[in-house]
Amino acid sequence: MHHHPSRRRFLGNMLALAGTGAVPFTLNLAAMGNAAAQNASDYKAIVCLFLAGGNDHFNTVLATDSSSWSEYQRIRTTTDSGSIALPGVGATGGVLPIVPNSPQAGRTFALHPSLGPLKELFDAGRLGVLANVGTLIQPTTLAQYKAGAVALPPRLFSHNDQQATWQSSQMESSATSGWGGRMADIMASANGSSTFTCVSNAGNALFLAGRTVRQYQISGSSAVPINRLNDSLFGLPAGSNPLRQIISGEQSDPFQKDHAAVVARAIDAQATLSSAMSAVGSGVPDPTQYVNPNTGVAAVNPLAVQLQTVARLIGGRSTLGVRRQVFYVSLGSFDSHDFQRTNQADLLAKLAHAMAYFDGVMGNLQGADMRKQVTLFTASDFGRTFTSNGDGTDHGWGAHHFIMGGAVKGKDIYGSMPVTGLGHALDVGSGSLLPTTSVDQYGATLASWFGLSATQIADVFPNIGNFSNRNLGFMAG
């Protein structure tokens, strides 16, 4: 990876090392860098929905024109071991046709049968598709890829490294911050406190790691308290509970003092967050159960629960004093080497159900339509191969993704859908796609809507200068 720190970041680091004599200029530099945040009088949030494991995009968004469909059925049906091909095009049991506003000559498209709620959002203009996006350092042709003539992302087809590269533009071993966190670094001054600028409901997320801003991790449907902190302990009444004083009180040892200070901040943050979420209350209804398309059995959708928590946090934005927030949620088990046809159908049903639920809540959050202020986008390790073993697929590269929200120029496919088949100009092997759009371009488009300037975007996305098109046009404004 080639990283070129911006002049502003270099000067900032040098001034930070220079000591108190440089403070006035350092503060002035920070003020210049955060101008966009200071002008952020409205509220905006970005939600990264990560499909962990590498979603098979070929069965998610499909080309259904005659030649494409014939190749799809031929290659994804193997005579010796089975098929992962979906049912035929049609009204009964088939894939779900979508008609983008910008037609691609001679081609038609559809979504997986489990994505009915997303088809409705697409038709309503609040969902767009970004075709063939993936990790790139610079625009790359198949000939350049085969010759090793250009810099390539490290360790392609590796889960850990490609997750890290998607989320940070760096490989796993060297990644220290993610582009969601770097955006938050710039915009955090718009918030009364940086504590709730980056929030993960899916564990520690590299995507949310900032250079200065730290992510706040939440689990389940509410903030997690310290057990027995506010009730009786060993027979003592709640008012006499000494636990808080023990774990966060005054300490003389420097290490104990720092630890106590961290714990005290965590306790205060949990209390603030719980209060803000409680105030939202029934304004964010519980999600309905989703239905497993393979069994017909209804069950709780864990992704919808994660998004319910995000919605409650957005509902409590005034109490939390935030104007810009970045969230991270995740749905796992997309590494479909086996049982892909049934497993992916269930996973995509969860995805569609959760996204539609979140769209509905944003449409009437405490009596206000927040859709134009909240944008959700999907990401994943990589796509899959077009060839299969009859039961699943292998690790690929480029993939198709969804962007959802009221500010999204929906009902369209952005970028060019690749040829359906093998041996074409974007096939790096077994039908794995050479991306035609980079993650940096994807993120830069979202960052521009979020309020970052061109200079700030270049600081967040180290490779964006290698691409001429730095705004893909899928966001309004």
Q: At what angle do helices 439-450 and 179-187 cross, to 10 degrees?
A: 20
Torsion region of 116: left, alpha or beta (phi above 0 gives left; psi -120 to 50 gives alpha): alpha
DSSP string across 227-261? TTSSS-BTTB-GGG--HHHHHHS--SSHHHHHHHH
> What is the β-pairing status of strands 413-414 and 127-134?
parallel
pLDDT in tens, 119-167: 999 999 999 999 999 999 999 999 999 999 999 999 999 999 999 999 9
pTM of the model: 0.89
Among residues 458, 392, 401, the alpha carbon closest in space to that of 433 is found at 401
pLDDT at 269: 74
Residue predicted with more confidence, 410 or 251: 410
**Mean pLDDT over the full length of the chain:** 87
CA distances from residue 275 to 73, 191, 228, 314, 434 in whole angstroms, order as listed: 54, 18, 18, 13, 48
pLDDT in tens, 347-369: 999 999 999 999 999 999 988 99
CA angle, residues 343, 347, 348, in degrees to nearest 5: 115
pLDDT confidence bin for 29, thresholds 50/70/90: very low
Confidence check: pLDDT of 17 > 60: no
Neighbours of 92 (CB within 10 A): 6
pLDDT at 166: 97
pLDDT at 240: 57
Confidence check: pLDDT of 392 > 90: yes
Average pLDDT, stretch 413-440? 97
Confidence check: pLDDT of 213 > 80: yes
Tokens of 378: 């999907």
β-pair partners for 50: 330, 379
Give me the domains of the chain, ranges plus CATH numbers.
Answer: 42-222+289-466 (3.40.720), 223-276 (no CATH)
Helix ranges (H only) for 424-467 are 439-450, 454-460
Say which residues have a Cβ less than 8 Å from residue 341's Cβ, sequence separation at least 6: 83, 84, 86, 391
